[in-house]
Amino acid sequence: MEHVTLLLAVVIATALVFDFTNGFHDTANAMATTISTGALNPKIAVAMSAALNLVGAFLSVEVAKTISGGIIDEHGIDTRVIFAALVGAILWNLATWLLGLPSSSSHALFGGLIGAAVMSAGVSAVHGGTVVTKVLLPAVAAPLVAGLAALIAARITFRLGRHADDEATAKGYRAGQIASAALVSLAHGTNDAQKTMGVITLALVTGGVLAPGSNPPVWVIVCSGLAIALGTYIGGWRIIKTMGTGLTDLRPQQGFAAQTSAAISILASSHLGFSLSTTQVCSGAVMGAGLGRRGGSVRWSTATRMAVAWCLTLPAAALVSAGAEFVAGRGTWGVVAVGAVLVAASGAIWLAARRRPVTAQSVAGPAARPTALTGQEQAGDLAATIPGPPPAAATAQRSAAA
C-alpha cells in the first residue's frame, strides 16, 4: 500500500469494525435453528460458523465489485464519505442487536453509503438503476422465494417421513441441519464478508491507492474474512434467541428445510452479484418452514417487528450517515467529533446490553423436541400466532361432527 493517509487508515479500521458487528449480528442466520432444535451446542455452533465464514470470504468477489463500483459514483467521492457511511451502518447494527431484532446489516451499509454520498455530492452520486436491480428488488424477492422454498421443502420432508419413527427421523435431520448450517455459514461468508471488502476497496479508490474498477487486494480479503469470523465467534445471542425461538417453533425437519433453502438462495445471489440481505433470506426461510408443518405457526407479532425494522433500516442508516457526513465535512474537527459520537454511542449501547444480558445458556436448545405440541402449549405459548393448516386428525373430527 502507498499513500495511505491517517483518515484512510481510520476508514479501513472502521470498516473492519462494521464487519465485526456484521458477524455477531448475523450469526443467527446460520445457527439459530440448529441451536434451537438441539442439533449443536451453542459454542460449537458459532465456532463452526466462524470458520466457514472465513473460508467463504475467499470464494468470490462479485458482490464486492457491486459495492465498490456499482452503488455510488466513485468520482467526486472522498474518503470522508465512506467514513460517514460506516458510522450510520455500525450504529444501526448495534441498536437493532440491543433490541434483538434481526435487521439487515447489508441494507444498513447501503443506506449509509447512499445517505453520505447524497449529502456530499447530491443525488447524481447514486446509481439508481443498480440500487433498484441489485438491492431493492432482491430485498423483496429473496425472502419470499426462500420462504416458499422452505415451506415446500418442509411439507415434502414431513410427507416422506410420515411412517418413520419420530425419534430416529429427528436424529437424522439434526445431522442434516449441521451440514445445512455449514452451507449457510459458507454462503454468508461469500456474501456479507464481501460487502466490507467492497467498502475498503472503494475507500482505497477514493484515496487514490487503487484504480477505479480494481478487485479487492488479497490483504483486504484476509482482513475482512478474519473480522467477520471473529464477530461470528463472539455470538449474537440476542438475535439468535429471536430467530431460534421467538419467531416460530421448529422441529429438526423444518430447521433442515429452512437452512437448505436459505443457503441455496444466498449462494445463487452471490454468484450473480446480487448483494441481498442474508438476514431477510434466513428469516423468510424460517417463517416458511414454520408454516410447512401441519399445525405449525409463526408469531406474527415478532415477524411484524422484524418487518418494520427491515423497512426502516435503509432510510434510518441513510439519515444518520447524512448527518455524519454533514458534520465530518466541516473539516478535521468534524471527523473527530463524528468518531467521538460513534465511540460514545457504542459504549452506551454496550452498557445497556449488560443490564439485560443474553448468554449462550439462554439460547441452548433441548436435546430433542417433542413430536407434537400439547393443547396447553398451543393455547399458551402460541396464543399470539396465526396457525398454519390444522392437523389432519382435527380436520377429520370436524368433518365427522358435521
Q: Give the C-alpha separation, 189 to 278, whole Å.
A: 10
* pLDDT above 80 for 286: yes
Q: Is the dihedral angle over the CA atoms 134, 137, 143, 147 positive or is it negative?
A: negative
Closest CA to 322 of 127, 112, 110: 112
pLDDT at residue 220 is higher than 80: yes
pLDDT at 299 over 90: no
pLDDT digit string, tens, across residues 104-126: 888 898 899 899 999 988 888 88
How many whole angstroms separate alpha carbon 337 and alpha carbon 315? 23
DSSP 5-64: -HHHHHHHHHHHHHHHHHHHHHHHHHHHHHHHTTSS-HHHHHHHHHHHHHHHTTS--HHH
Average pLDDT over residues 15-39: 84
- Structural contact between residues 255 and 183, judged by C-beta atoms closer than 8 angstroms: no
Residue 67 pLDDT level (bands cut at 50, 70, 90) = low
- Give per-residue pLDDT as tens, 137-176: 878 887 888 899 899 988 888 888 777 776 767 777 778 8
For the cut 60, the answer to whether the pLDDT of residue 367 exceeds it is: no
